[in-house]
Structure 1
Amino acid sequence: MSSSPVERNRLWSRLNDAVAKQGVPLPTPVFAVDLDAFDANADDLVRRAHGKPVRVASKSLRVPALLERALQHDGMRGVLAYTLREALWLHAQGIGDDLLVAYPTVDRGALAELVASPAALAAVTLMVDDVAHLDLVDSVRVTVTEPVRIAIDVDAGLRLARQHVGPKRSPLGDAGSVLRLAREITARPGFALVGAMTYEGQVAGVQDAVPTARARSAVVRRLKALSIDQLAVRRREVAAALASVAELEFWNGGGSGSVEETGADPVVTEVAAGSGLLVPTLFDHYRSFTPRPASYFGLPVTRKPTPATATVHGGGLIASGPAGADRLPTPWAPAGLELTGLEGVGEVQTPLTGPSAAQLQIGDLVWFRHAKSGEPFEHATTVHLLSGAEFVDSAPSYRGCGQSF
């Protein structure tokens, strides 16, 4: 990724030219995705996956047209959805017929809709890690027709003595516990065990080459290496246990930050990725790949409280996760802008300082990058698609389609 001031200023000109060419004022914030960078990122994810298909994580996009565009790339197959209602909607829209729901659901209404539709039952796979998840399915169906497709979520965290490093997801941490649940699934009428998942978030979702945190990055790299080695053994043991009760169709693993490592594991049959398509700021500093930022939002300068300060309207699109400066959006183009320590980014205004602030005039657009992928589009109804120096199309987000998952 080039983050040089020259490249960022060129981006500023390119995005502003695209807005000007529209001929009519665009409502702000202006949300934009660079399709050239998006496509290059998609090709790079496929290249890194060791020939295994990449399942597209919809949570990191939330724009149906971008989901469809990603799935058009050779080597990308299937959707990793984040709610059952989302998966059902995508199926109804014709966007996917291979939809794996990444998280267990307790949405009885959505489960009732699923079990009532043979077509949806054939396309959607539910994630479970507890017998209670099976009980919920049984509670909403009167008779068993087609089986509900089930995948087991296996804990992929690093275990060091009594410490657990990684997302607090599944309680299933060894072959024995997974096998007990697998036997329950296969013994119950109306369920088919078809897959397994191991998401190593402590590898895939943590930067390991941050220039301003070299010591911490070295520790992160060591923890990642330990995680990969430990998880390879766990996957192998769990896979051997599962083979005694079911023949799995797939084993999903990884994320944008661990495509190579996860794809290299012989147990894994497909790799999940989504953030690597748009590349938010939390994915800027990985040793494993060179990202190309593809997602931006533009805010207008509405005030000049001092000659050296420019205040834009809005800006407070804070990323989820542990609160900290790395969850704030970054003023990106033009280069040479900084947030203030007192106000940071606000819902209605964000003051900017730095060398470029004095050059900005009321009405100019400042382009930001979000800390996480997909999340900014919860604040958008329309996303403008950039190619070269012009917007070639506009696409509705989930919000623009009247959906909120």
Structure 2
Amino acid sequence: MSMHDYPYYRAALANHRLPAAFIDLDHFAINLEHLRLRAGNLPIRLVTKSVRSVEMIHRIMSAGPFMRGLLCYSVGEAAWLASEGFNDIVVAYPSVEPTEIRMAATQIRNGRSITLMVDCVEQVIQINRIAVAEGVVIPLAIDLDMSSAFPGIYFGVHRSPVDDVSTAIKLGREIAGRKSVVLQGLMGYEGQVAGLMDDVPGEAIKSSVIRYLKRKSIIEVNARRQAVVEALKKDGHRLRFVNGGGTGSFESTRQDPSVTELAAGSGLYAPTLFDHYRGFKLLPAAGFALPVTRIPKGGVVTCSGGGYIASGPIGKNRLPQPWLPAGCSLIDNESAGEVQTPIRHSGVTTPAIGDPILFRHAKAGELCERFNELLLIQDGRVIDSVRTYRGERKSFF
């Protein structure tokens, strides 16, 4: 799966402190180009939670005009990134935290574009109240639920109570009835299509069922999004953008003519939860290296650190996975630990004390919550390091 092997990374990391997180810029560039090609003629809004590094966000946004705007996970994060020079920012999740909304209002007053997400009138009322006090008009977007309810199966995620034309129109009118907020966009994220692997080795039946449910869901939710967009426009709303999709659903989201932009972030770092999609393949571009500090017995080495578990439903697929050298695996009854991680090795390479063991995280940006910096590897060496949000002393949740 990887273009680069263990000796390549071991040599690149030889004189650097471990544990360390890194980005393989060669693989990163290939993944970015694949996203561009998969997006077709639609621009891509960058999902910042999957990147969590200002310098990496700058690098991505400078790749070309196909990258257009940011999709943030926190209002405070959006305000901070606006203060760092970014513009055209949409916050993907609702918030009524007054301190953060006032921060966003300050940036709007300074000429930055920040759009806040809503899915109920209570959110609209509180945002409008702060906007009035701050003397600004705050742009809003409606979060349209894109889950599918099949007989006996809820196929999707629990996001928004706005799930049809009538609920969207009702909320749109609540926004239009207030002077300090304005409806500018709609987001319809089909998480059950974008975020579920559908070609997992050893899970042929489950993967087949997921692909079947995806096909059914795509038809339904694309029609739902189109109907809501058309109804909002007929009701007098001028939508600046209609956002949809994620790394795993570019092809199906593009089928919806109402969508004006796609969203992606995980497809750049390529964590393990994006390894097994039938429609596309990514190259591992982000990882972390742990040093071997013990050799308790033959076939087992123990590394410092490593307990970087991903959010979501509890399961082995949320664990970081030993990547290189080949033949390494976690030990079930210890797994990835708080201060040490033992692994079994059965490959041709026998790790020695001080050698790095390379791991991949299950999710993209969450890795950055564990490290202050990312080492940038290119042409077999570390050419630079960039700070993560953590390294900037920023924590938003």
Same fold, TM-score > 0.5, yes or no = yes
Aligned to 2:93: 103
1:301 equivalent in alignment to 2:295 = no
Deviations 1:217-265 (A, max 9, x none): 0000011111110012101211121012201010000000001111221
Q: Identity of counterpart residues, as a percentage?
A: 42
Change over 3 Å in CA distance of 1:305–1:120 after alignment to 2: farther
Between 1:141-150 and 1:388-397, the stretch displaced more is 141-150
| C-alpha distance in structure 2 between counterparts of 1:201 and 1:251, whole Å | 16
1:134 equivalent in alignment to 2:124 = yes
> Of residues 236, 239, 242 in structure 2, which corresponds to 1:245?
236
Which aligned pairs between 1:3-402 and structure 2 lie closer than 5 A?
10-20=4-14, 25-74=15-64, 75-94=66-85, 96-119=86-109, 122-143=112-133, 145-161=135-151, 163-243=153-233, 244-356=235-347, 359-402=350-393
Deviation of the 1:50 alpha carbon: 2.1
| C-alpha distance in structure 2 between counterparts of 1:261 and 1:343, whole Å | 40
CA contact (8 A) 1:50 1:264 kept: no
Between 1:367-376 and 1:41-50, the stretch displaced more is 41-50
- SS of 1:28's partner is coil
CA contact (8 A) 1:301 1:311 kept: yes
| C-alpha distance in structure 1 between counterparts of 2:267 and 2:343, whole Å | 28
Deviation of the 1:342 alpha carbon: 1.0
| C-alpha distance in structure 1 between counterparts of 2:58 and 2:251, whole Å | 24
CA contact (8 A) 1:182 1:245 kept: no
Deviations 1:333-358 (A, max 9, x none): 10001111110110111111131398
CA-based RMSD: 1.5
Deviation of the 1:138 alpha carbon: 3.2
| C-alpha distance in structure 1 between counterparts of 2:91 and 2:73, whole Å | 6
Deviation of the 1:176 alpha carbon: 0.3
- SS of 1:371's partner is coil
| C-alpha distance in structure 2 between counterparts of 1:11 and 1:32, whole Å | 15
Letter in 1 for 2:221: L
Change over 3 Å in CA distance of 1:342–1:200 after alignment to 2: same
Letter in 2 for 1:337: C
Deviation of the 1:308 alpha carbon: 1.6
Provide the aligned length of Structure 1 versus Structure 2: 394
Letter in 2 for 1:365: P
- SS of 1:359's partner is coil
Deviation of the 1:91 alpha carbon: 0.7
The TM-score normalised by the length of structure 2 is 0.96
- SS of 2:5's partner is helix
| C-alpha distance in structure 2 between counterparts of 1:278 and 1:373, whole Å | 6
- SS of 2:284's partner is coil
| C-alpha distance in structure 1 between counterparts of 2:301 and 2:360, whole Å | 18
| C-alpha distance in structure 2 between counterparts of 1:325 and 1:399, whole Å | 26
CA contact (8 A) 2:108 2:138 kept: no
| C-alpha distance in structure 1 between counterparts of 2:152 and 2:178, whole Å | 35
